[in-house]
Chains A and B, each alone.
Chain A
């Protein structure tokens, strides 16, 4: 099994699809000569040329909308929106257009477009370059929303997103790009809507996304030392949501923590908690705990940023609360 970084895994999915399929092309700001602001598309211009690796002006509405138009005419574009924060600029096209074209046309059209974007704190860019806005998009019928946390997952899920006939908002986490992991020799598509159990456990289930998957795995190791067995589940796809796997795990462990980097309040975790309490009410032995960012914009000063976003210890404390233990 080859080892790839998360960054290389994204690139491999894009390049492999473009090698086999003329309908796939990529567009975005600084993705050509520069290779993307995160280096994801590095080298792709040389292989595929400027017609299929398209630098765009700083025009998120047109970047998103042009990708939508090309998708409506049968192409499979992948648009890179440099930062999630800039998804707010693209959102007219993503929310009002891409998500609704199929519906408004009574099923006449499909919009097989992927909006790749990334965000995440931990490097002090301040309030406009690291938000986690997945909750905005899971609220929109017509969109699929993916958030992968490992090289294997990001590659297999991006592949499925490219070949899905629906618009997919595909979140990547900035701090995960350098992490390495084994991937299958040949790309194995990972179905959209299927969660992954990263670690089996008996006492409490942690449902985590993005960077918090890795923070939760660290927390689980700590908890293990205290004799608490933790199961870690990554939904990987936020919409549609694999409720069966999530609920099944909680019915087994009887306790749940939901963890993401985005602001806790009104976050994705609130919906997960609602699903769990409704479908596993009689199995729950403790209130569902939620871990996420405090209700503040991301601050600049590193000590404040560190304070606002959650880390392994926040997950660990939440695990302790569910089992009613103090560290």
Chain B
């Protein structure tokens, strides 16, 4: 049924609405996270991916059951898109035992093995070799599964990126490497951190198949990801998928963004909002959108409620889970 249409890489109308819903959930969830952090309720160091929702949703929708992802420090969207319940994610951000990492991880270490999320990573590029290794395990066991890594443009400068991609291509493992190219490595613009403008050249240097898509167009992301997954799953080797995307927010919550032209994010919001783009394409009325939005806000409200009512770990639980 759906599989036939998915093969062509297109989403049916109902699926489009679901896709919009998922992106909007991530948006509203992250806006709430910003708000609760500023209110002093959330501990730690948080990074939102507002503006990049189409990457998370388009990629994760294309995955099959059994495929796994590794994420980054900007992980809330990936985690929700891969199927973690908003309650469990919010509970983790509040440091509760009901959280997806049971309070041991936090925003930068979100794990949900049941849903194929092999973990967010606070070390740039840290998860890339794990994806090569997981894909190697699938290859050795003859399983038709794909391991997929998310990372940003900043990660293309670190050794693990080059080492992991080289090895993945050398061994032709079923992996997909998804570059969410938002043009910023924290506060450093791409022209200051990379001598080349087309970062997919780096994958091509390993002989890896490289694809590109508009990261603000969820349908394009979905379609490209399906193609990349088919390629990887069929044993032809890994794929590098370059998504051109936009970070509306700062590097972290509270980032004054002194390094960025004042109106840049505003202009990008007006022209390259992935949610607005899809909504317009679907021709969704204001009323219908408002209805969807209010449903989602209720889900987010409930997640905050769930998290606040969650259980604090006992301090001495810090000594558990160190060894198996």
A residues sitting closer than 8 Å to B (CB atoms) are: 22, 25, 51-52, 54, 56-57, 59, 61-75, 77, 92-93, 96-97, 101-110, 112, 141-142, 144, 164-166
Docked CA distance A176–B148 (Å): 42
Whether B101 lies near A106 (C-beta < 8 A) is: yes
Whether A70 lies near B133 (C-beta < 8 A) is: yes
The contact of B111 among A51, A52, A71, A104, by CB within 8 Å, is: A104
Whether A107 lies near B320 (C-beta < 8 A) is: yes
Whether A108 lies near B123 (C-beta < 8 A) is: no
Please tell me the size bucket of the interface on B: 35 or more
1/0 per residue, CB under 8 A from A, across B280-316: the answer is: 0000000000000000000000000000000000000
Q: Does B104 contact A (CB under 8 A)?
A: yes
By CB atoms of chain B within 10 A, which of A69, A102, A165 has the most? A69
1/0 per residue, CB under 8 A from A, across B93-132: the answer is: 0000001111111000101110000110101001011111
- Could you give 20 example pairs across A and B, Cβ below 8 Å? A59-B167, A61-B160, A62-B163, A63-B167, A65-B130, A66-B130, A66-B132, A66-B164, A66-B167, A68-B130, A69-B136, A70-B133, A70-B140, A71-B133, A72-B133, A72-B134, A73-B134, A97-B130, A104-B109, A106-B111
The contact of A104 among B101, B130, B132, by CB within 8 Å, is: B101
Q: How far is the CB of B110 from chain A (nearest CB, A)?
A: 9
Docked CA distance A63–B163 (Å): 8
Docked CA distance A102–B166 (Å): 27
The contact of A73 among B121, B138, B160, by CB within 8 Å, is: B138
Docked CA distance A144–B163 (Å): 26
Whether B133 lies near A25 (C-beta < 8 A) is: no
The contact of B128 among A64, A65, A110, A164, by CB within 8 Å, is: A65
* A104: chain B residues within 8 A (beta carbon): 101, 104-105, 109, 111, 119
The answer to whether residues A59 and B138 also contact, given A97-B130, A103-B104, A103-B322 and a CB cut-off of 8 A, is: no
Whether B129 lies near A102 (C-beta < 8 A) is: no
* A63: chain B residues within 8 A (beta carbon): 163, 167
Whether A65 lies near B103 (C-beta < 8 A) is: no
By CB atoms of chain B within 10 A, which of A62, A68, A71, A144 has the most? A62
By CB atoms of chain B within 10 A, which of A56, A72, A164 has the most? A72
Whether B123 lies near A102 (C-beta < 8 A) is: no
Q: How far is the CB of A115 from chain B (nearest CB, A)?
A: 13
By CB atoms of chain A within 10 A, which of B132, B160, B166, B323 has the most? B323
